[in-house]
């Protein structure tokens, strides 16, 4: 079996930053450290920090001490929290979308977000515009919007470029004065581009990442849409149990942006050994 590892694999820069902020808070900020929502969409990362004593909550804590970490996907602006040290792990690329939405809203545009209505990033972006912000998931939903005189489009960072292009085209026809900011994350685009190259040369793809992660799901969907065999795992343990069923000549290995580097390293080592053994047999 030949194995092709993607160049863009493991944590993206935003997730690396969020992990580093949490490690730093555990060392030098007031304890306990709490996450407000999942720091990133990966169970292994959350477990890693829960074991180190980080507490997890979805609502604002009632106590007035400790450190609160805002998730990498961001959230609506927080009220003043006396006694609590707030560490903002919002990825700077997500912050860029939030600020674009706020700016458009202040300039009296009807803000439209291209994204997943229930995703924490989209809920956070809405918090920077207003309650009337519209969310569409694709060009079909955009086509169903009512007539709007003045609107501006921003994009959830993990959306794909093709959907953005199609949505923008529809909105240009429907909206008299349309403004937009293409806020797709370049690191997500790089992975989407790289998977196309890997899919061309492989007959099966190993996708590493959580089922909670939107960008990992997109990699898996892309693999299946081209009729390639998909193996989707989130840990070395899961890979080991599936390895006997993986029958292919060329295996591509890619990951979502929140798949932990420490797990990727173990998986790479295991696969390299596996390929070596299978060559000599
Ligand atoms: S995928 Fe992009 S936007 Fe999201 S956390 Fe990573 S770098 Fe930031």
121 lines ligand 1 (CB under 6 A): no
Nearest CA to ligand 1 atom 6: 14
Average pLDDT over residues 178-205: 93
Decide: helix, strand or coil at residue 251. strand
Helix, strand, coil shares, percent, the chain, to 5:
45, 20, 35
74 lines ligand 1 (CB under 6 A): no
Look at the domain 93-180 and name its fold. Answer: Cobalt-precorrin-4 Transmethylase; domain 1 (3.40.1010)
Query: Which pLDDT score is estimated for 92?
Result: 98
Looking at the domain covering 13-90, what would its CATH class be? alpha beta
Q: How much is the mean pLDDT over the chain?
A: 94
Tokens of 120: 């924490």
The domain ranges of the chain are 2-11+186-280, 13-90, 93-180
- On whether the CB atoms of residues 255 and 208 are closer than 8 A, the answer is yes
Least confident range of 57-66, 75-84, 113-122, 152-161: 57-66
d(CA 82, CA 262): 36
Does this chain's domain 2-11+186-280 share its CATH topology with 93-180? yes
- On whether the CB atoms of residues 205 and 4 are closer than 8 A, the answer is no
Q: Measured in angstroms, how far is the CA atom of residue 63 from the centroid of ligand 1?
A: 31
**Is 3.55.10.10 the CATH number for 2-11+186-280?**
no
Least confident range of 89-98, 242-251, 253-262: 242-251
Q: Measured in angstroms, how far is the CA atom of residue 264 from the centroid of ligand 1?
A: 18
Query: Which pLDDT score is estimated for 280?
Result: 52
Q: Measured in angstroms, how far is the CA atom of residue 6 from the centroid of ligand 1?
A: 17
Please pick, among 38, 121, 187, 263, the residue that the annotation labels catalytic.
121
- 245 band by pLDDT with thresholds 50, 70 and 90: confident
Query: Which pLDDT score is estimated for 61?
Result: 84
18 lines ligand 1 (CB under 6 A): no
Which tens digit of pLDDT belongs to each residue from 19-69?
A: 999 999 999 999 999 999 999 999 999 999 999 999 998 888 888 899 999
121 part of the active site = yes
Nearest CA to ligand 1 atom 8: 14
Q: Read off the pTM.
A: 0.92
Q: Measured in angstroms, how far is the CA atom of residue 279 from the centroid of ligand 1?
A: 38
């Amino acid at each position: 079996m030949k194995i092709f590892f993607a160049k863009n694999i493991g944590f993206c820069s935003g997730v690396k930053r969020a992990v580093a902020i949490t490690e730093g808070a555990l060392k030098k900020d007031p304890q306990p450290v709490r996450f407000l929502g999942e720091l990133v969409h990966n169970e292994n990362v959350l477990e890693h920090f829960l074991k180190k004593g980080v507490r997890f909550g979805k609502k604002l804590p009632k106590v007035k001490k400790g450190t609160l970490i805002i998730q990498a996907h961001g959230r609506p602006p927080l009220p003043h929290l006396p006694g609590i040290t707030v560490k903002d792990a919002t990825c700077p690329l997500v912050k860029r979308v939030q600020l674009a939405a706020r700016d458009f809203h202040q300039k009296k545009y009807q803000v439209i977000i291209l994204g997943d209505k229930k995703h924490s990033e989209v809920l956070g972006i809405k918090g920077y515009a207003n309650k009337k912000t519209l969310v569409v998931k694709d060009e079909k939903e955009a086509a169903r919007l009512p007539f709007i005189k003045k609107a501006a489009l921003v994009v959830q960072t993990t959306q794909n470029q093709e959907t953005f292009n199609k949505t923008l085209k529809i909105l240009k026809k429907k909206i008299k004065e349309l403004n937009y900011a293409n806020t797709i994350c370049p690191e997500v685009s790089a992975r989407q581009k790289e998977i196309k190259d890997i899919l061309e040369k492989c007959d099966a793809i190993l996708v590493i990442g959580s089922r909670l992660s939107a960008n990992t799901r997109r990699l898996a969907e892309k693999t299946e849409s081209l009729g390639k065999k998909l193996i989707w795992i989130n840990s070395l343990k899961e890979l080991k149990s599936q390895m006997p069923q993986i029958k292919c000549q060329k295996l591509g290995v890619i990951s979502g942006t929140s798949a932990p580097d420490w797990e990727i390293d173990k998986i790479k080592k295991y696969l390299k050994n596996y390929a070596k053994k299978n060559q000599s047999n």
